[in-house]
């Protein structure tokens, strides 16, 4: 079964709903959330430090790096500012993601192929600091090849199209494009592993649709946030993480 990276961004989203525009140690505290996720069975803690600091703040990143015993994954835009922060805090892993100021959540994969030279330099700086580097990309052959050439160590595939197809088909692979999107992810994973990179996946995965992805050959990590934090409102974060681990273990 793949490892579970729990993204706790939306714990900070709740905090910032009360402390909008303020960098304060208000509640709920992302560090406490990370500890609860660990007790529920999380393997990795993931946060996205956005340019506009809409949820996670710089202080959160520093506190989580010092206070979490699990592997710490920092999602970040491919900018000089974010590279400086990563080199100062030294997360175990950085995942480079695209970022748009007006988007609600990440809407697509990073275009590694379209900015290969600059991305390669960023990857080299992070790897030289001993940081494992992953790319959040669409499941496209050109992007996978570009990631290998740029020196990435893992590809995290954007599972949003798969999740949308799953919802539209009610989980029935005979309907719509669900089988196509499932197979696209599986084939992308095969190619990634053939190039010596790890196969990760994430975005819009939930308790209903996670099984077929979690059981794909060679997938080593899933990164899931919104579904887990949403369930935590009703059952608590520790139980919500444990429930996700159970869903991942079920046959897809």
Which positions are annotated as active-site residues? 48, 75, 203
Report the alpha-carbon distance of residue 139 to residue 145 in Å, rounded.
Answer: 11
Tokens 């990435």 belong to: 152
Report the alpha-carbon distance of residue 28 to residue 3 in Å, rounded.
Answer: 25
Report the alpha-carbon distance of residue 214 to residue 247 in Å, rounded.
Answer: 9
CA 58 to chain centre: 18
Contacts for 32 with CB less than 8 Å, ≥ 6 apart: none
3-state secondary structure of 52: coil
Tokens 């992810």 belong to: 185
- A 10 A CB-CB count for 23 gives 12
Report the alpha-carbon distance of residue 155 to residue 157 in Å, rounded.
Answer: 6
Report the alpha-carbon distance of residue 110 to residue 215 in Å, rounded.
Answer: 25
Report the alpha-carbon distance of residue 97 to residue 101 in Å, rounded.
Answer: 13
Contacts for 185 with CB less than 8 Å, ≥ 6 apart: 139, 157, 159, 162, 201, 213, 216
Report the alpha-carbon distance of residue 189 to residue 23 in Å, rounded.
Answer: 39
């Amino acid at each position: 079964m793949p490892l579970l990276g729990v993204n706790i961004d939306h714990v900070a989203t709740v905090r910032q709903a009360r402390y909008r525009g303020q960098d304060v140690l208000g509640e709920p505290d992302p560090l406490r959330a990370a500890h609860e996720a660990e007790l529920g069975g999380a393997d990795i803690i993931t946060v996205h430090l956005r340019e506009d600091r809409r949820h996670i703040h710089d202080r959160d990143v520093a506190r989580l790096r010092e206070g979490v015993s699990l592997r710490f994954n920092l999602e970040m835009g491919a900018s000089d500012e974010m590279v400086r922060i990563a080199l100062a805090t030294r997360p175990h892993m950085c995942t480079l993601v695209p970022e748009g100021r007006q988007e609600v959540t990440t809407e697509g994969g990073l275009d590694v192929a379209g900015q290969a030279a600059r991305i390669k330099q960023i990857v080299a700086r992070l790897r030289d600091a001993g940081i494992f580097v992953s790319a959040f990309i669409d499941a496209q052959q050109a992007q996978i090849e570009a990631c290998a050439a740029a020196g990435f160590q893992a590809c995290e595939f954007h599972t949003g199209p798969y999740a949308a197809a799953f919802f539209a088909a009610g989980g029935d692979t005979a309907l719509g494009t669900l089988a196509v999107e499932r197979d696209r992810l599986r084939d992308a994973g095969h190619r990634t592993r053939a190039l010596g990179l790890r196969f990760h996946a994430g975005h819009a995965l939930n308790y209903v649709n996670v099984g077929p992805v979690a059981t794909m050959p060679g997938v080593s990590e899933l990164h899931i946030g919104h579904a887990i934090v949403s369930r935590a409102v009703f059952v608590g974060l520790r139980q919500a993480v444990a429930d996700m681990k159970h869903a991942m273990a079920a046959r897809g």
